[in-house]
A and B are shown apart, each in its own frame.
Chain A
Amino acid sequence: MIETRLGEFEEVILLLTGILGEEAYAYKVAEEFELQTGRSVSIGAVHSTLTRLEEKGFLKSEMGKSTAERGGRRKRIYTITAYGKKTLAAARDFKQSLWEQFPGFATSKLSFGM
């Protein structure tokens, strides 16, 4: 079995970071998460995951700009690394291959359904 080394939450956070691009910092990622999944999450939880993903080498970060709403404090912007992208793709391919082996949900059915 391929080891993806990504939990479900981690995978979503990683994807969201990629989606947000320049705007990927803890608060925005948490907002985006709530928006996309409908599940509520604390900034702390997202921040801790981002830190962990950075430690694993899937993300890198640097301090970005500040705004008035932030009381002049800077944000930490995360960007996805090449390794992170590779791992995401591997995770997707792995799941894809599992879905294809799943008899009731073969992709052909999905594409022709409805």
Chain B
Amino acid sequence: MEDKLGPPRLAQKLLRAFLREDIAEEVEGDLDEKFHADLKSKSKHKAKLNYWYQTINYLRPFAIKKINRYKVMNNYLFSNYFKISTRNIFKHKMISFINVFSLAVGLAACVAIYLFVSDEQSFDAFHSKKENIYRLDEVQKFTGTNEQKVALSMPGMGPAIKRDFPEVKSYVRFWLHGKQLITKDDTKQLIENVMVADSTLFDVFDFVLIQGDINTCLDRPLTILLTESTALKFFKNSSDALNNTVSWDGRDYQITGILKDIPENSHIQFDALLSMVSYTSGENNVNNSWGGNWMTTYLLLEPTADISAMEEKFPSFLSRYIDDPEINTTYKLFLQSLNEVHLASNDIEHDYINYRKFNGSYLTIFYIIAAFILLIAAVNFMNLTTARASHRWKEIGVRKSVGARNFQLFGQFIFESVMLSAFALVVALLLDALFIPMLNDLIGRKLSILPLFQNGWQLSVVLAGTLSLGILTGIYPSFYMTSFDLSRVLKGGNKGEGKSVLRSTLVVVQFGLAIAMMVSTLIVIQQLSFMKESDIGFDKDQMLLVNMNREANEKFETIKNELQKQSMILGVTASGQRLGNNFHQWGFKVIADTGVLSITPSNVNVDYDYLKVYGIEVKEGRGFSKDNLTDNGYAFVINESFANELRLKETVGTKAGHGWYDNDSLGTIIGVVKDFNFNSLHYKVNTLALVVHPGWGYSELSVKIEKGRTEEGIAAVKKVWDEQVPSYPFDYTFLDAHFEEVYRSDKQMSAVVAIMAGLSILISCIGLFGLAAITIEKKTKEIGVRKVLGATESQITVLLSRNFAMLIAIAFIIVSPITYIALHGWLESFAYRININLLVFVLGGVLALAIGLLTISYHTLRSARANPVKALRYE
């Protein structure tokens, strides 16, 4: 019977269980007094609850019994476990090394992958309103061009959506200006990334403003925000910069704020921000601009906003603002959540504001790979431990006969495997500390294992993971070893060990995974080199690209003439846009027999000899020529895809022009070029029109330099540039370097897959090596007898290898179709791809077999060659 007025019994018991004896009296007294006081002022229930609360709150170091006095037994037990485990580990050094090393490599790979993935997933997470921020994207479906998703929107859309949709709290637009020359007195600096942004920037995003007023800094025209490192290029410190001015494009801008440098994990990156008001306050208010898409718009929505309901209202929204009956067939607006922008924008084009964009589906692949590697390492552990069980029969037998219960033995073996995995974790972290800097170089990241130790949560996940790995891999071997029948074990006769189906299965799993990863690596490398080597229809090697400003455009002819005098310069031309991305699309019309066709191809403004310098093949008609006056703005060269789309009887000679040309003042299509991949090979070649518009200005000079004289060429171009264009620094890159950048995400994936495939093969082989050692050791007697009876060395080698070869063959057969399907899926993401050659699979299989046999050959050959007398004398 419980005393109705007393404190809760259970709590009292608990308290007595952990409380230090010398303070028990006073504490119990205090708590009793508290309880009785509570009974007077509160309900019985509340008083009891409070007693519990007080009890739990005595779980403090000062009040708790000293642990060692309480757990003498356990400690003794563990120290015994520890002793036996250490002895076992050191007794079988090779096996222990294999166990620890393969687990360590597996864990190290997992930790590295985890760091990589969590780095990718940390993108944009620092914005406090991230859950409610969306990017306004479009699906464009213009006639005569591939349907495409784009990250651009019209300048008018942002303000209009804010007006028309009550669920939109705010919007902010970015307008990319790219690399710009900013000056302050004599200091001229090329600033890599200049953008224009709305004054609402800080309402939506959490970029940190360290100087200036966050509410008003972008409110006035001709104001600019600089990041701290940009400001330091012009001023001694950021306080000097505030309220000072810098010039851009012939005008002075007041610096109204200094931003902390944009974090690496922000998809929006900039070095300077101009106020959007600079463009909305004058005559040409960009807020009224509809039709052209050249801004990126982000919306901050109410938490309650219904995304699909909003998207349903977009068609009527578009019809309200754009007077075009076709508008809703050519445009579809959609909202993309901020947390998808970095990892799920792979199918989105014209996505210029997306730093380090990454294909998020690769992260899943990485997780799978991590799991595979860990599995392979765990298999090693299980295989080696069970295979070695026979060495411990005596120990188990003695323990059992002295009275050890199964669960006690079980506990010991689990303890052993947990100890090994803890040891492996330490080695893994050391390996990571050593190799992650190298990995960073390879994949262009700034990963570090240090944050792992600063974040208690992550560290406990790692520790818990290792612990459970130790327990999980320990369970089967422990169960296996404790299940021996005592009498049989001690008799020492037939120990009841037949062929281990499970062990063979595990080897099959292991080698299956290793073969799959090896074949995948081969295919991925093939596809990437295909992209690198394939004929993309123009010459991208040795092509120097130089950023041009207005002065460079004005003096373009002079620069070109000067450069062409140099012997190592093979060609000079210029263009409005760089190859490697989609070109801007705008309207184009053609007078066909059936009437006027309106089409929206990609367009690029080029210099007269662009086709010649880039080696683009003209299939029909002719290229541009300076001698024809109409070639300036009134002659068009289109690509084959475009010609096929038009399906005209005579393409060359047809009247055509930009969408805004009058029907009676059109130009002519003068030529058709072979399709070339101006966009990345992920995309099909789009329809394209090339035109010469020197008056529009070119953005880049292309200089083709003779192979082997690159340095000389750069120096020559620099010299001419410095003479001719004092207003703008010589700023260059190479086209093939730019293409490397385009395929970066694919390359990084292939690097990671290759490393992981290598590791999985390594771990599998280490395991096989250990397993071979054990199984062959068991067959020592058999080999001795066979040799005495006249078996040759090669016969014995074959005999010993046959089993392993068989397992690898089975693995190959099971895993090949699965791998084929997976790789086929990956290749689908490329518009231009290789066919999977089945020989690659055969190669992968043979390679695995060869590596496997080579690994065990150390043991097979040694025992085959051994003197049979020794073998028979053993025991």
A58 to chain B, nearest CB (A): 16
Given A44-B60, A51-B62: A26 in contact with B32 (beta carbons within 8 A): no
Given A27-B34, A42-B53, A69-B36: A47 in contact with B29 (beta carbons within 8 A): no
Q: Are A75 and B29 in contact (CB under 8 A)?
A: yes
Closest chain B residue, CB of each to CB of A52: B62
Task: Choose from B29, B54, B60, B63 the contact partner of A66 (Cβ within 8 Å).
Answer: B29
Closest chain B residue, CB of each to CB of A42: B57
The listed residue with most B CB atoms (<10 A of its CB), out of A25, A31, A70, A74, is: A70
Q: Are A43 and B57 in contact (CB under 8 A)?
A: yes
- How many A residues are at the interface, by size bracket? 20 to 34
Q: Are B30 and A47 in contact (CB under 8 A)?
A: yes
Q: Are A73 and B54 in contact (CB under 8 A)?
A: no
Q: Are B34 and A45 in contact (CB under 8 A)?
A: no
Q: Does A48 contact B (CB under 8 A)?
A: yes
B66 to chain A, nearest CB (A): 15
Chain A residues in 8 Å Cβ range of B27: 26, 43, 47
Given A27-B33, A67-B33, A73-B32: A48 in contact with B60 (beta carbons within 8 A): yes
Q: Does B97 contact A (CB under 8 A)?
A: no
B16 to chain A, nearest CB (A): 13
B859 to chain A, nearest CB (A): 62
| Bound-state Cα–Cα, A45 to B57, Å | 7
A55 to chain B, nearest CB (A): 9
Q: Are B26 and A69 in contact (CB under 8 A)?
A: no
Among B10-45, those with CB < 8 Å from A are 23, 25-34, 36-37
B8 to chain A, nearest CB (A): 14
Q: Does B58 contact A (CB under 8 A)?
A: yes
Closest chain A residue, CB of each to CB of B7: A71
Q: Are B32 and A43 in contact (CB under 8 A)?
A: no
Closest chain B residue, CB of each to CB of A64: B26
Q: Are A47 and B58 in contact (CB under 8 A)?
A: yes
Chain A residues in 8 Å Cβ range of B29: 27, 66, 70-71, 73-75
Chain A residues in 8 Å Cβ range of B59: 44
A27 to chain B, nearest CB (A): 4
Q: Are B62 and A48 in contact (CB under 8 A)?
A: yes
| Bound-state Cα–Cα, A46 to B30, Å | 11
B40 to chain A, nearest CB (A): 10
Task: Choose from A30, A48, A76 the contact partner of B63 (Cβ within 8 Å).
Answer: A48
Chain A residues in 8 Å Cβ range of B60: 44-45, 48
Q: How many B residues touch A, CB cutoff 8 Å?
A: 21
Task: Choose from B28, B57, B63 the contact partner of A73 (Cβ within 8 Å).
Answer: B28
Chain A residues in 8 Å Cβ range of B23: 47, 76
Q: Does A20 contact B (CB under 8 A)?
A: no
The listed residue with most B CB atoms (<10 A of its CB), out of A45, A47, A76, is: A47
| Bound-state Cα–Cα, A70 to B36, Å | 9
A14-53 vs B, Cβ < 8 Å mask (1 yes, 0 no): 0000000000011100110000000000111101100110
Closest chain B residue, CB of each to CB of A73: B29
Chain A residues in 8 Å Cβ range of B26: 25-26, 63, 73-76
Chain B residues in 8 Å Cβ range of A30: 34
Q: Are B28 and A44 in contact (CB under 8 A)?
A: no
| Bound-state Cα–Cα, A47 to B19, Å | 13
Total of A-B residue pairs, C-beta within 8 Å? 70
Q: Are B54 and A69 in contact (CB under 8 A)?
A: no
Among B61-91, those with CB < 8 Å from A are 62-63
Closest chain A residue, CB of each to CB of B34: A27
| Bound-state Cα–Cα, A67 to B60, Å | 26
Instruction: Say what secondary structure dominates the interface of chain B.
Output: helix
| Bound-state Cα–Cα, A26 to B58, Å | 12
Chain A residues in 8 Å Cβ range of B30: 25-27, 43, 47, 70, 75
A71 to chain B, nearest CB (A): 5
| Bound-state Cα–Cα, A55 to B692, Å | 88
B13 to chain A, nearest CB (A): 15
| Bound-state Cα–Cα, A11 to B37, Å | 26
Chain B residues in 8 Å Cβ range of A31: 37
| Bound-state Cα–Cα, A75 to B25, Å | 8
| Bound-state Cα–Cα, A30 to B37, Å | 13
| Bound-state Cα–Cα, A100 to B31, Å | 43
| Bound-state Cα–Cα, A25 to B32, Å | 13
Among B381-436, those with CB < 8 Å from A are none
| Bound-state Cα–Cα, A51 to B27, Å | 12
Given A48-B60, A51-B62, A75-B26: A70 in contact with B54 (beta carbons within 8 A): no
Chain A residues in 8 Å Cβ range of B34: 27, 30, 43
Chain B residues in 8 Å Cβ range of A71: 28-29, 32
A66-90 vs B, Cβ < 8 Å mask (1 yes, 0 no): 1101110111100000000000000
| Bound-state Cα–Cα, A24 to B811, Å | 77
Chain A residues in 8 Å Cβ range of B32: 69-71, 73
| Bound-state Cα–Cα, A70 to B26, Å | 9
| Bound-state Cα–Cα, A67 to B62, Å | 26
Given A26-B30, A69-B33: A47 in contact with B63 (beta carbons within 8 A): yes
| Bound-state Cα–Cα, A63 to B100, Å | 57
Closest chain B residue, CB of each to CB of A66: B29
| Bound-state Cα–Cα, A52 to B54, Å | 19
Chain A residues in 8 Å Cβ range of B28: 70-71, 73
B2 to chain A, nearest CB (A): 16
B123 to chain A, nearest CB (A): 40
| Bound-state Cα–Cα, A47 to B30, Å | 10
A95 to chain B, nearest CB (A): 28
| Bound-state Cα–Cα, A112 to B79, Å | 72
Q: Are B33 and A44 in contact (CB under 8 A)?
A: no
| Bound-state Cα–Cα, A74 to B30, Å | 9
| Bound-state Cα–Cα, A23 to B30, Å | 12
Chain B residues in 8 Å Cβ range of A25: 26, 30
B387 to chain A, nearest CB (A): 53
B48 to chain A, nearest CB (A): 15
Q: Are B54 and A42 in contact (CB under 8 A)?
A: yes
Chain A residues in 8 Å Cβ range of B53: 42
A46 to chain B, nearest CB (A): 9
Closest chain A residue, CB of each to CB of B35: A69
Chain A residues in 8 Å Cβ range of B37: 31, 69
| Bound-state Cα–Cα, A52 to B61, Å | 11
| Bound-state Cα–Cα, A74 to B23, Å | 10
Chain B residues in 8 Å Cβ range of A26: 26-27, 30
Given A43-B30, A43-B31, A67-B33: A73 in contact with B58 (beta carbons within 8 A): no
Given A27-B33, A51-B62: A44 in contact with B25 (beta carbons within 8 A): no
| Bound-state Cα–Cα, A90 to B30, Å | 32
Chain B residues in 8 Å Cβ range of A75: 26, 29-30
Task: Choose from A42, A51, A67, A74 the contact partner of B25 (Cβ within 8 Å).
Answer: A74
| Bound-state Cα–Cα, A43 to B27, Å | 9
| Bound-state Cα–Cα, A73 to B31, Å | 11
| Bound-state Cα–Cα, A51 to B33, Å | 20
| Bound-state Cα–Cα, A48 to B34, Å | 17
A64 to chain B, nearest CB (A): 9
Chain B residues in 8 Å Cβ range of A42: 53-54, 57
Chain A residues in 8 Å Cβ range of B36: 69
| Bound-state Cα–Cα, A47 to B36, Å | 19
| Bound-state Cα–Cα, A52 to B63, Å | 11
Given A25-B26, A42-B54, A75-B26: A70 in contact with B33 (beta carbons within 8 A): yes
B76 to chain A, nearest CB (A): 31
A69 to chain B, nearest CB (A): 5
- Where the two chains meet, the residues of A that have a C-beta atom closer than 8 Å to any C-beta of B are 25-27, 30-31, 42-45, 47-48, 51-52, 63, 66-67, 69-71, 73-76
Could you give 14 example pairs across A and B, Cβ below 8 Å? A25-B30, A26-B26, A27-B34, A43-B27, A44-B54, A47-B23, A47-B27, A47-B62, A48-B60, A52-B62, A67-B33, A69-B36, A70-B32, A73-B29
The list of the 7 closest CB pairs from A to B, nearest first, reads A73-B29, A42-B57, A44-B57, A70-B29, A27-B30, A44-B58, A76-B26
Excluding A43-B58, A47-B62, 14 further A-B contacts by CB distance (< 8 Å) are A25-B26, A25-B30, A26-B27, A43-B54, A44-B54, A47-B27, A52-B62, A66-B29, A69-B32, A73-B25, A74-B25, A74-B26, A75-B26, A76-B23
